[in-house]
Amino acid sequence: MVLIIEIKVFPSAGRSEVVLEESGLLKAYLKGSAERGKANRELIKLCAQTFGVPSYGVSIISGATTRLKKVRIATALTKEQLFSKFVT
C-alpha cells in the first residue's frame, strides 16, 4: 500500500522531529538547511524513522523546492494507523 501525505517543512530549525498539529497537518522540523537538497534528504530519513519504514520506501513526489511537500510512503499501514504514532 502507498500513502501520500502532505508535510510542511521548517529547515534550519535546530531540531529533527515530525509533529502532528491538531488540524491534522504534519510539520517537520529539520536541522539541515534548504540548500543542495540537504533538508529533503533529512526529511526522507526522518520520515522513515518516524513511521518505521525503510528510507527507500519514502520519496518526495512534489514540492522539492517549497516548504509544503507531498511525500509518498510505502507501508502496509493506513493513514490513521500511521498518525496514531503521534497520539500520547
In this predicted structure, the answer to whether residue 6 has a pLDDT above a threshold of 90 is yes
Instruction: Tell me, yes or no, whether 82 lies in a domain.
Output: no
Report if residue 88 sits inside a domain.
Answer: no
Query: Is 66 inside any structural domain?
Result: yes
The one-character DSSP state at 70 is E
Report yes or no on 24 lying in a domain: yes
Query: What CATH number is associated with residue 38?
Result: 3.30.1200.10
Helical spans, DSSP H, in the chain: 38-51, 79-83
Grid coordinates given for 63:
514540492
Query: Is residue 10's pLDDT more than 80?
Result: yes
Predicted local distance difference test score (pLDDT) of residue 88: 47
Q: Is residue 23 part of a domain?
A: yes
In a domain, 33, yes or no: yes
Q: How many domains does the chain have?
A: 1
Q: What is the pLDDT of residues 31-74, one digit of tens each?
A: 988 888 889 999 999 999 988 899 999 999 999 899 999 999 99
Residue 85 located in a structural domain: no
Domain that holds residue 61: 2-77
Secondary structure letter of residue 20 according to DSSP? E
Task: Single out the residue of 43, 37, 32, 42 nearest to residue 70, CA to CA.
Answer: 43
